[in-house]
Amino acid sequence: MDQDSRIFVAGHRGLVGSAILRRLSEQGHTNLVFRTRAELDLTDQAAVRAFFDREKIDYVFLAAAKVGGILANDRMGADFIRENLLIQTNAIDAAWRAGVKKLLFLGSSCLYPKHAEQPLREEALLTGEMEPSNKPYAIAKIAGITMCQAYRRQYGFNAISAMPSNLYGPGDNFDPEGSHVLPGLIRRFHDAKMAGAPSVTLWGTGTPRREFLYVDDMADACLHLMRTYDDPEIVNVGPGTEIAIAELAQMIKRTVGYEGTLEHDLTKPDGHPRKVMEVSRLFATGWRPRVELEEGVRRTYEWFLEKVAPTLAATRQAAE
Ligand code: GFB
């Protein structure tokens, strides 16, 4: 990837895409291409082909996807499988047809079997039953990974796939129902603090274990892989450390400065009992994450206070 390579970041308004765009800019890349959904609907095959034919793109970061937390996945499986299959099929195929040099596709640690041996090795993919709450999402994403591998094998297309752990950071979705646990709890503890509420509800038992990677570290890993990795096998991207959800909740509670108690809503799913990835394939290439979880949570809460909280406060006032 040269400084003047023409680079398309699909999904540049999302958590990962916006971080990739920031990182590319910081590193002096100026020939960057991005489109809003209104400008380019990635589920529209003809539009995507016309875009790639016209734009003469060299590199693609395919960070556009329909994503969400455990409840959104559980309730809207049809949307998750349809949108992801369409977006990735259109983008990967059109990129190859238009002569793109290299494409990075993103999977997720939730694609691994529910009871796979931990830490999750790349070889564990497709070796067992999936976690039912996110099966439609996982099947779609596994199709994308397989498509990258098949296009490489049949057509020589340099398409690689990374498997991020749970991600978080500035630009996240803080919707109380649809979001992932970390931004969801920041929002819930913040709202409870503002309202002086006596308790905050945690979904599930709090015992599931997850690993969380700060999104700027993820973006950094994506650029690193784009520059250095050309193999068909998937690569896990995570910090290699884990935390129980109940412990994470305590960390967020401290960061927000909430003083009430915690309750559990056991009607909500736990999902995978444990998801921690084996990251030696990535670490062997010299890459390491930089932002520790506590620091990342602090930075994310600061971003939330600056960008999200004022709008919430204004909405609350208007409703009163
Ligand atoms: O972040 P989360 O939705 O991702 O949930 P997954 C992680 C854990 O936190 C689950 C618990 O055990 C939840 O039950 N949890 C506790 C909460 N309180 C909350 C809350 O307020 N909100 C949320 N969202 N969870 C998703 C997958 O699974 O991870 C997706 O469904 C995706 O497909 C993503 O891949 C990375 O790790 O369980």
188: its two tokens:
């819930």
- The pLDDT of residue 44 is 98
Q: Is residue 166 within 6 Å of ligand 1 at its C-beta? A: yes
- Strand ranges inside 130-242, DSSP E: 159-164, 166-168, 199-203, 209-210, 212-214, 235-237
Instruction: For 92-103, write each residue's pLDDT tens digit.
Output: 999 999 999 999
Q: Give the position, in ligand 1's atom list, of the atom nearest the Cα of 138.
A: 33
The protein residue whose alpha carbon is closest to atom 5 in ligand 1 is 181
Q: Give the position, in ligand 1's atom list, of the atom nearest the Cα of 74.
A: 31
Average confidence score pLDDT of the chain = 96
Residue of 130, 167, 181 with the most ligand 1 atoms within 8 Å of its CB, for mutation: 181
Determine whether domain 7-171+212-241+275-292 maps to CATH 3.40.50.720: yes
Q: Is residue 66 within 6 Å of ligand 1 at its C-beta? A: no
Interval 289-316 mean pLDDT? 94
- The pLDDT of residue 123 is 98
Active site residues: 137
Q: Give the position, in ligand 1's atom list, of the atom nearest the Cα of 109.
A: 35
Q: How confident is the model at residue 284 (pLDDT cuts 50, 70, 90)?
A: very high
Q: Is residue 245 within 6 Å of ligand 1 at its C-beta? A: yes
Name residues whose C-beta falls within 8 Å of residue 27's C-beta, 6 or more positions apart in sequence.
Answer: 223
Is residue 71's pLDDT more than 90? Answer: yes
Report the C-alpha gap between 216 and 20 in whole angstroms: 8
